[in-house]
Amino acid sequence: MRNGRLILAFVLSSLLAAGLFAQSGKGTQTGGSKANSRPATAKPTPTPSPSPETAADDTPMDGPEIIVDTKLVTIPVRVLERGGRFLAGLKKENFKVFEDGIEQDVALFSNDSQPFTVALVLDMSYSAKFKATEIQNAAIEFIDQLRPEDKVTVISFAEEVIIQCEPTNDRKVIYSAIKRTQIATGTSLYEAVDMTINDRLRRIEGRKAMVLFTDGVDTTSRRANDFDNLRDALEIDTIIYPIRYDTYDDVQRIKNNPGSVQLPTGLPGSGGGPPIGSTPPTLPTGNKTSPFPFPIPTSGVGMGTPSDKGTTHEEYAKGEEYLDQLAIRTGGRIYVADTLGNLGNAFSKIASELREFYSLGYYPKDDATAGKVRRIKVKVDQPNAAVKARDSYVVGGPKKKKA
């Protein structure tokens, strides 16, 4: 018992001495003196809000010190002299950028000939005005006019959307991808644009452009619509160049005399699917209120009867307006190609324009909630100069998964 008390007394005295020693300030502290030490608890990393420059599924880097308050808004800008020639040699101080009327500080400027990632999206539906070989040859000529460092992803669509190749600057891979495209039935234009923007271009950094070859009329999309396409175009920093061709007269001939049309062997309608001219199945449709100045068409299947979608004047007018809006909202330009000659000319002009851009970037001074439209105005201090750039963007929000 006596020994137990002695041991207990020794332990208590040791603890008391240790406590007094620590209070005297002579102990060791990690990270320096008590006055300069930081709390050991790390601050949590906030999740940044998605923006036109950040994919919706991006996540912040690990680490307690990474805090993202704002997102860089980038704007590709072309400046043209009177007569339409590109005005080269401008500097950062020649530009002013305004967002919702408030001047912004230009944080990024480049007048270098930077490479583009180009999404070449080809409508290969059976209503196409051109033959497959004509489309392929014109597309290959377009590729030949791009710079060696430019990357290209080739995407084709009829009813199905096919990624023919991922972004690459290997010309042999690109040529092979273009030559694999085939004419087929159906036109899932909205799904092709949705996949290109959200599954491909949204995750790519740097300068981006989409060259979209189509008549603008959709007949078979079920998982995407024009309303969402136009909203997404405002969110992403990609220039869209539609090349539109008019197939209305050809579609009328097919619709009014379906027996005169012979599909290539192996395509739907030639034994592998419903024939052109047959009544398509009835699909459920929904109503959506649109802020855009034109109605949103509902989806249908196939073509060949007066009740089928994609065959009326109204739908062609809506398709033309849809392509116009894609160009306007992204700072691009629409081209019309009703002959093989002006198809090649359209591709050539787009390739030339892609070498004539300045890059401006700024961090918005005002925060904005997801889904809000912000108006952009770019000015240049050069007389008789015209500025070509997008005039708005939408603050990005979480993307909904497609059903």
Q: Are residues 295 and 232 in the same domain?
A: yes
Q: Which pLDDT score is estimated for 22?
A: 40
Q: Are residues 202 and 95 in the same domain?
A: no
Question: What backbone torsions phi and psi does residue 119 show, to the nearest 5 degrees?
Answer: -95, 110
Q: Is 61 inside a domain boundary? A: no
Q: Are residues 245 and 363 in the same domain?
A: no
Q: Are residues 212 and 302 in the same domain?
A: yes
Q: Are residues 259 and 283 in the same domain?
A: yes
Q: Is 2 inside a domain boundary? A: no
Q: Are residues 215 and 294 in the same domain?
A: yes
Q: Is 55 inside a domain boundary? A: no
Q: Which pLDDT score is estimated for 279?
A: 37
Q: Are residues 164 and 191 in the same domain?
A: yes
Q: Is 302 inside a domain boundary? A: yes
Q: Are residues 82 and 193 in the same domain?
A: no
Cα-based angle 4, 8, 11 (whole degrees, multiple of 5): 140
Q: Are residues 319 and 237 in the same domain?
A: yes
* pLDDT tens digit sequence for 258-276: 655 554 444 433 333 333 3
Q: Are residues 124 and 226 in the same domain?
A: yes
Q: Is 266 inside a domain boundary? A: yes
Burial 70-107 (b: 16+ CB within 10 A, else e): ebebbbbbbbeeeeeeebeebeeebbebebbeeebebe
Q: Residue 229 has which token pair?
A: 């396409």
Query: Looking at the 3D structure of the chain, how many domains does it have?
Result: 2
Output the CA torsion 313→318→322→327 (10° steps).
Answer: 60
Task: Check residue 238 and report its DSSP letter.
Answer: -
Q: Are residues 232 and 339 in the same domain?
A: yes
Q: Is 279 inside a domain boundary? A: yes
Please name the amino acid found at residue 296. I
Below-70 pLDDT ranges, the chain: 1-70, 258-307, 368, 397-403
Q: Is 83 inside a domain boundary? A: yes
CATH number at residue 271: 3.40.50.410
Look at residues 113, 356, 74 and name the one whose alpha carbon lies nearest to residue 238: 74
Contacts of 325 (CB under 8 A, 6+ apart): 230, 233, 292
Q: Which residues constitute the domain of residue 363?
A: 73-111+357-394
Q: Is 81 inside a domain boundary? A: yes
Model pTM above 0.75: no
Q: Are residues 244 and 376 in the same domain?
A: no
